[in-house]
Structures are given as structure tokens and as C-alpha cells.
Amino acid sequence: MKVMVKRIYEPAARSDGFRILVDRLWPRGISKSDAKLALWLPDLGPSTALRQWFKHDPAKWEEFQRRYHAELEQKTALLASIKGPAKTRTVTLLYSAKDEEHNQAVALRSFLTTRSVSRTGR
């Protein structure tokens, strides 16, 4: 499974493969045509309460990941929207946050890769 993470404000590239926006809110200043998305999964983003609590504060990162991963455990159908395409091609999770290290796309990629490895025994 090849899952990449990229800011939606960066230009789309062929190497992005299957582009999925994982923000709950549509990013400012991006038109739907410019986004070049395969999917937008707003319900896969962190809950409003979690997003507002986190506020992209790096000091809250570990706890944010723990809480967000707990939310993701309940979203198996939405996760299948990523896992299916990721079996055969690159999937790029897109986000709009300015912080490139502490955002839901990074946490989601971590969730997908660790769950995939632990369930397949690799």
C-alpha cells in the first residue's frame, strides 16, 4: 500500500495517483476543478470537536492522533474507499493545514499503514 500525503495547495502531479481530500471543510481558494480529486471524504476528517480542540498545536499531537485513530476505528466503510484503490496504485491524501507534520492526513496515513501491517502480519 503506497499512501502519500500532500498539501492541496501544491500542484497536482501524475505521481499523486488517486487523490483524496480528507478535510472536513472545503479548502479556501481552491476550486473543485483545480483540486483534481478522485474523492472528497469530509466524514473521514476528525470530528469538529476534535479539530477545534487540537487547533494544530504540536504539543497536542500525540493525544490528537490517539483520539483521531479511535474515531477512525468506527469508519470502516470510509476507510475502504482508500484501501481499495491503494491496493493497485498510489493514493495521495490531501489536506489544507499549513503544518505539514501535524495534520489529519499524516495521522490518517499512520493509521492506515500501521493497521494494514498489523492485520496482514507484515
Instruction: State the helix-helix crossing angle for 104-120 and 61-72, rounded to 10 degrees.
Output: 60
Indicate the pLDDT class of residue 116, thresholds 50, 70 and 90: low
Instruction: For the chain, give the percent of residues with pLDDT over 70.
Output: 94
Residue 20 three-state SS: strand
> What cell does 47 get?
470530528
18-75 confidence digits (pLDDT tens):
999 999 999 999 999 999 999 999 999 999 999 999 999 999 999 999 999 999 999 9
Q: 118 or 97: whose pLDDT is higher?
A: 97
